[in-house]
Structures are given as structure tokens and as C-alpha cells.
Amino acid sequence: MDKNRKIQLGLTAGFAALLAGPGLLWLGVNPFCDTTNYENRTLTSFPTAQTSIEQWPGQFEDWLEDHAPFRNGFLTLKAGADRLVGSLDSSNVLLGKEGWLFLQDVSDSKSLSDYQGLTSYSQEEMAALAGTLEKLNQVLAQKGSRLALIFAPAKEGVYSQYMPDSIPVVSRPTRVQALVEYLNQNTQVPVLFPLEELNTAGAQTQVYYKYDTHWNDVGAWLAAQQLLEVLNLPFERTLPTVKANPDKTAPTDLANMCGSWAFCTNDLYYEVDAPAAQCTEGTPDTELTRYQGDGAEDLLLVRDSFGAALGSRLAQRFDETVVIHGNLLSEENLARYQATIPQVVVVEVGERFSDNLAGRLDTLLAWAEQASPSA
């Protein structure tokens, strides 16, 4: 065998070892490695017999990317290298000042473009939303119920001082700010966007998580007080004592999205020293949750991920509260879990999820037209 042939065989064997070696090694060591799914999503499944030939290569590639041997270790190693040079190589997460993380434009939202003022609703879109919202309000009012709508401000706007200088604000108001103004002018429904209140409080204490997209208990408590005020229920104007709970870990969805979970561990879980409703079914994070509070009226809260923290704080001023995540929202489920119309209905929508509002209002309207008032 000539020398060139031996070199070719050696290179081929080496390449095969590089391809197969990690997989073979993984079979023996994976019980001792970190295989936790830190990302807030379901990892891609392996193609099945039902997967078409055209879809098979793409789904296999996605599966391999999600389940590659030593994936978590390599993601952590890369994230650590990025942090050493003060950068973050991620299409989903933006590195801000003082280590704060922010969401970029992703598949289900345009958070960064919204912050910059690059998105907008047309007059026709706002008019259609106003029409549905007002019709829902009228149907509920006829059956003895009150309606309120709250948009949870995106973290980028609340903590804009930590946004990198490379992300300029192009125009104001943002599309949700413009929508809120329009809805308040053209409907009888109180529509809230507590950006100013959160900005003010955020200068004194932390109201959103440093490595997560959501408001913390402090931000949720403040939003609940805004809602209680417009609903003519007892509310507090002064923020109670805020303490860090050492037994709870601050969530880190943004850090998890960019492989930085091992490095983003210095945030604190802040809580407001104030009463909260008792959870009687599910947990704050489940798609159906029930609470018992100290009020006299019943509440239906339709939420997205921001409503998980809001639920117990708002429900404290009500008797029985049903909280339904938008993923579970349908006429059938509303009829099942909220058979009669309560005295108060609140719709919570995260700023970056505002495009979901139209569908949720349609579903609520169809349910309200058929449901009976509470006894």
C-alpha cells in the first residue's frame, strides 16, 4: 500500500472516529452528565414513520441539534467564552449593560422591534380591536360583570437604561402604547399599561428579573394594585416591604435560551411582604389555577406567562378566582371551568404578545353571549 493511500485511509478513519466517537462515548457517560432541558420549550422529537420525505432531513437536523452528545456542556463552554470577551452570540438574546439580558425578535414576538418603535397597528386593526372589546364589555355589563384589560410592559421598556447603546429608539409611542391610548379613547373599558408605575418603582427596587423576560412579584403586585383601583376595589398606593427570599431561585428563561444558565446565578427572588390569595387548584404556572381570597366578588383572569405572578396578588381581593392561560382558552373550556359569568373579568396580555388579543377577545365574546350570570 503506497503512502498516499495510507494517508487517505488514516484521514477517513480519523473523520469516522470524530463522527462516531462522541456518540459512543456518550453511551457510557451520559448518566453522569447534565441533560436537563433548561429552555422554555419542548425539544424536537426524532422523525417518525409519519414524517414525509421532504420534512425528514430538516426534522432530523433539528433533533440532532437538540439532542447532540454533551450539548449542555458545549453550550455552557461557548457561553463562558462569549462572556470572557464581553459578547453574546445568540439570535434570541441580547446582552445589555451590567449583564442584563433582553429578548430579541423571535418567532412568537417582535420584542426588540416593538421597543425601537419599528412596529405599529393600523387604524383598521385598532378599530377592529376596539369594536370587539366594547362589544364584550357591553355583553358582560348586561350580565352584571365588569371588564378590564392590562398589557404587561416588556422588560426592554421598563429597564431601557440597561439596553445597549447599539439599539436605538427610532420612534414613540410604541405600538402597544398607541393601542392603549386608542382603546381608552374609543371604548368604555379601562385599559392599563403600567409602564410609568413600573419605571418609578424600578428606580428603587427591582421589578423584573435580570435574566428573565418577566416581571417579578414586585412588578406583579404593582400591576395588581393598578387593576384593583380601576375596578373600584381596595388597593394600596404604597409599596410594602420588599425582601429577597433565599429559598427561591429567580427564573432565567433568557439565560437558558443562550446557554448561560451556569453563569447567571446572582439574581435574587424578590417578594412583597403583603397578603396573597390561597391557591386551591393547580399552581401559579399551570394553565388552570384557582384561588381563594378575602373579597366578596368572583374573578376570571385570562392570562399569558405574565399572569402567573399576577394571579395570587390580584385574586387576594376576590372571593373565588379562576385563572386560565391563553393556551387553554376556548369556548368549551370556559364553559367547563367558568360556567357562569363572574362579577369581574380581567384580560392580561404581555406587550410582546399583543397580537394574541384579538383571538382571545373573540373567544371571550362567544362565551359571554352564551353563559349565564352568577347567581
pLDDT of residue 138: 98
pTM as predicted = 0.83
Residue 50 lies in a domain: no
Residue 97 lies in a domain: no
pLDDT of residue 28: 53
For the chain, what is the mean pLDDT? Answer: 86
Residue 318 grid coordinates:
376576590
Residue 209 lies in a domain: no
* Domain span at 325: 103-202+274-373
Residue 245 lies in a domain: no
Residue 30 lies in a domain: no
- Give CA–CA dist 44/245, Å, rounded: 35
Residue 312 lies in a domain: yes
Per-residue pLDDT tens digits for 143-158? 999 999 999 999 999 9
Domains in the chain: how many in total?
1
Cell 357591553 -> residue: 138
- Give CA–CA dist 81/302, Å, rounded: 42
Per-residue pLDDT tens digits for 81-119? 555 555 565 888 999 999 999 999 988 789 999 999 999
pLDDT of residue 26: 45
- Write the DSSP assignment of 101-117 as a string of letters: EEE--BTTB-HHHHHHT
pLDDT of residue 261: 64
Residue 60 lies in a domain: no
Whether the ω angle into residue 173 lies within 30 degrees of 0, i.e. cis, is yes
pLDDT of residue 79: 47
User: What is the phi/psi pair of residue 43, to 5°?
Assistant: -70, 150
- Write the DSSP assignment of 51-112 as a string of letters: S-TTTHHHHHHHHHHHH-TTHHHHHHHHHHHHHHTT----SSEEE-GGG-EEE--BTTB-HH
Type and span of the H or E element at 286: none
Residue 44 lies in a domain: no
Query: Which residue ranges in the chain fall short of pLDDT 50?
Result: 26, 32-33, 41, 70, 74-75, 79
pLDDT of residue 267: 97
Q: Is residue 167 a contact partner of residue 126, using CB atoms and an 8 Å limit?
A: no
The half-sphere exposure of 89 on its side-chain side, counting CA atoms within 13 A, is 10
Q: Is residue 197 a contact partner of residue 148, using CB atoms and an 8 Å limit?
A: no
pLDDT of residue 124: 98
Residue 12 grid coordinates:
477517513
